[in-house]
Structure 1
Amino acid sequence: MASSNPFPDLTGPWHRAARELTATPDSGGRLRAGMGGRTLGGPVMVQGIQGWLRVMAAPRAGGKIWEGANLADVLLPEEVPRPALLGDLSWSDENGLVFQAHLWERLYGEALSPTPNLDIPILVTDQWWNDLLTALDHLHRIPAPIGRQVMTQDYINRIPRFIPALHGRDLTVERWETSHGDLHWANLTTDPLQIIDWEGWGSAPAGYDAAVLHAYALNEPATAARVREVFADVLDTPGGRLAQWVICAEIIQAADRDRVHARLQPHIKLLAEKLLVP
């Protein structure tokens, strides 16, 4: 049976990027593919520094995802903790497919989950939660580049297709803010906190980051309750409810494509119904 993955094996491109960035693959590490097969990452050493090299394949260069990591490196303040970018390059192959490589400083801690959702409670300190609040406060205050959006009002107007009870409701976003755009548990590390994967950052409805974090915790009730407590001032508002409906619609839409979202879908549908009651 032919593979449904539109991207080729990225092992060769990954090793090409390592050579061109003068990075030595870590003999004890293994390469890890991202969801959808469009990325491949693995540990390296470069000039005595522990690094992480990730290669992405795309049908063409340019666009939000292609530009996101480099823009984040330049525009985001140091108060938003994230790995330092050590180098990058891009190229195309004879078939017209393009590749982009980013060489990052290795994470200080471990990702809180191997997948976007949670299956077990997270073990972090109160200081970790405070650091996350501080980081997001700094992020939300900076202006996003013009035209750089996590989603559009047009998309939000279509979410009643996935949550029919919203038909006829005014879904106009009253306030937009700069957001990570994919703030789930695989993109956050243990103490010390670091936030990774900035490809899709941009303008989103206020509260969207908190809404994403809460939605992907719903398989683990204790952590979901903690997120609601920490971000109550955001989530328990009309704008926060709208942000939650947005991520609910996205997860419902994705449920047919992978097991992570399929497992979340029953919890998400219950959440969407609960949000209908002010």
Structure 2
Amino acid sequence: MTSSNPSPDLTGPWHRAARELAATPAPEGLLRAGTGGRTLGGPVTVKDVQGWLRVMAAPRPGGKIWEGANLADVLLAEEIPRPALLGELAWNDENGLVFQAHLWERLQGRELSPTPNLTAPAPVTDRWWNDLRIALDHLHRTSAPAGRQVMTQDYIDRIPRFIPALHGRDLTVGRWETSHGDLHWANLTTDPLQIIDWEGWGSAPVGYDAAVLHAYSLTEPATAVRVREVFADVLDNPAGRLAQWVICAEIIQAADRDPLHAPLKPHVQRLAEELLIS
């Protein structure tokens, strides 16, 4: 969502967090703003360990995004590959904003895409696909904290606004499972596989993670086919079709205000139509 409030300059808070966490900014490192300008991250070193420090601003502490990274660090199994959390910090400023800093170990691989969708086929191996499937199976067997949801049934009931052909269809979710919630290509690394950005994880319809990854692969058909092969048992059934309609609706909704999603809109519209006759 866009906000009418200007994003704060996070350069000062980022350097404050680095000092208080005893992290030395990498001399060659450039700070990188996140989507919407609400986060700022950059490379650091802590006791000879290479890390990544990210600072987020919010009007108040608490809530799903604020708590997500810490809960993931505590509750998710080691079999789900992700950067280790090395430290965290939170404080208020004189203007009433609150800041949260997380210090992670540096990624072992590189992010597969600078954007959620692909602009070239994913350069990953058979082992990578197997590791991803194993990691997600572990995640989906994990219990999410009560009330922690990627989305609600109320939202899903509204998706015919974006896919009109679904009007009158029963969209009730039969089963929910713990999901990453934002499993696109900017949140995955090359070998070795790591899954990043756990702020929004929680309960989602069964098959949602695979549906998200498939939707963001549609700009590269060969990779989209591979996603469908790896997750055929998840996607090719009524629950999987519903999960795919959900992410199609989300992308269609976002496309009108977000240039990152606009190129995906015709692809997911076509997918949504194909699912109606499958």
Structure 1 length as normaliser, TM-score? 0.98
1:32 alignment partner AA: R
| CA distance in 1 between partners of 2:151 and 2:95 (Å) | 31
| Cα offsets for 1:208-255 (capped at 9, x unmatched) | 000000011111111111111111111101000000000011111111
Q: Does 1:268 align with 2:268?
A: yes
Contact residue 153 and residue 173 of structure 1 kept, 8 A: yes
Deviations 1:192-213 (A, max 9, x none): 0000000000000000000000
What secondary structure, in the 3-state scheme, does the structure 1 residue paired with 2:124 have?
Answer: coil
Distance 2:127 2:60 in 1: 42
1:125-178 Cα deviation digits (max 9, x unpaired): 100000000000000001100000000001100100111110000000011000
Secondary structure of the 1:29 match is coil
Aligned AA (1:125): T
Which region of structure 1 is more displaced relative to structure 2, 29-38 or 132-141?
A: 29-38
C-alpha distance in structure 2 between counterparts of 1:70 and 1:228, whole Å: 32
Letter in 1 for 2:26: D
Find the counterpart in structure 1 of residue 97 from structure 2: 97
Does 1:159 pair with 2:146?
Answer: no
Q: Deviations over 1:249-276 (max 9, x none)?
A: 1111111222111111010110111110
Residue in structure 1 matched with residue 196 of structure 2 by the alignment: 196
1:80 counterpart residue number: 80
- Is the Cα–Cα contact under 8 Å of residues 5 and 37 in structure 1 kept in the other structure? no
- For residue 6 of structure 1, report the CA deviation from its aligned partner: 2.7
Q: CA RMSD in A?
A: 1.0
Gaps in structure 2 of 5+ consecutive residues: none
| One-letter amino acid of the structure 1 residue matched with residue 172 of structure 2 | T
1:44 — aligned with what?
Answer: 44
What TM-score results when the alignment is normalised by the length of structure 2? 0.98
Stretches of structure 1 lacking an aligned partner (at least 5 in a row):
none
1:99-142 deviation digits (Å, cap 9, x = unpaired): 11000000000000011110101111100000000000000001
What's the secondary structure of 1:77's corresponding residue?
coil
Quick check: 1:21–1:87 contact (8 Å CA) kept in 2? yes
**Structure 1 residue 5 displacement after superposition:** 5.8
SS in 1 for 2:276: coil
Matched residue count = 276
